[in-house]
Amino acid sequence: MFIGKVVGSVVSTVKDEKVASLRFQVVQELDEHGKPRNKYVVAVDTVGAGQDDLVLYASGSSARQTTLTDGRPIDAAIMAVIDSWDVNGTLVYAKEDLDTVGWTVGEP
Amino acid sequence: MHLGKVIGRVVATRRSAGLDEVRLLIVQPLDEQRAIAGDTLVACDAVQAGLGDLVHVCDGREATLALPVPFVPVDATIVGHVEQFAHDGPGPQIGAGDEP
């Protein structure tokens, strides 16, 4: 999976009926330091990710492995909303409403 | 599958069904010289890998077959620790206990 940021959503009225009921978000891929990579995907949101949320998305046929996207022409799915992540023991990102005061980088 | 080093961890309480208790680790892909080979990615952990471990990662839908619930949207899973790694190219072989 890749880390990404929800930067927008896609609305299309004329589309294949197999994807009619799905919500599409535009996700910009980020590196492990939270810096944007030059890569965007349109991913189906399966966990209720909102604008500006940092998420994980899966690509390829793995994206069809949810009840929402099973058997549909989908190759990217947001499968988690990130609370925090650390690299080499250093906290890189924590969602602002997460009480990070005194939160030590321990076993998640 | 490809070689990688575990460099970080992701915490995500809101996640797809079937992924509870599955740890999410940040992996830096490496080549046979243990040089950086590609962008970091996030993989599920099936072998209790820890920070700094040299591992190999299975990509694509097959990655879900190493997880407790296989019907999950996962495209990368750590499926093994690497203790030894021999290759016929130049450069050091990786032996047990080497600093990956």
Chain A residues lying within 8 Å of B14, measured CB to CB? 47-48, 80-81, 83
The CATH topology of domain A2-101 is OB fold (Dihydrolipoamide Acetyltransferase, E2P) (2.40.50)
Q: Which of A47 and A103 is assigned the larger pLDDT?
A: A47
pLDDT for residue A72: 96
Domains of chain B, earliest start first = 2-87 (2.40.50.220)
pLDDT in tens, A13-37: 898 999 998 999 999 999 999 999 9
Token reading at B31: 């080549």
Our CA-based measurement puts residue A86 at a distance from the nearest CA of chain B, in whole angstroms, of: 5
Distance CA A27, CA B97 (A): 40
pLDDT tens for A32-68 read 999 999 999 999 999 999 999 999 999 999 999 999 9
pLDDT band of residue A106 (cuts 50, 70, 90) is very low
Residue A9 has pLDDT above 60, yes or no: yes
Nearest CA in chain A to B57: A1
Angle at B26 between CA A56 and CA A99, to 5 degrees: 70
* pTM for the full predicted model: 0.89
pLDDT number for residue A101: 42
- Check if the beta carbon of residue B80 is closer than 8 Å to that of residue B57: no
Domain coordinates in residue numbering, chain A: 2-101
Beta carbons of B42 and A2 less than 8 Å apart: yes
Is A33 within 8 Å of chain B by CB? no
Q: For A77, which of B10, B26, B73 is closest by C-beta distance?
A: B73
B chain contacts of residue A104, beta-carbon cutoff 8 Å: none
| Separation of alpha carbons B32 and B2, rounded Å | 10
Q: What percent of chain B has pLDDT over 70?
A: 92
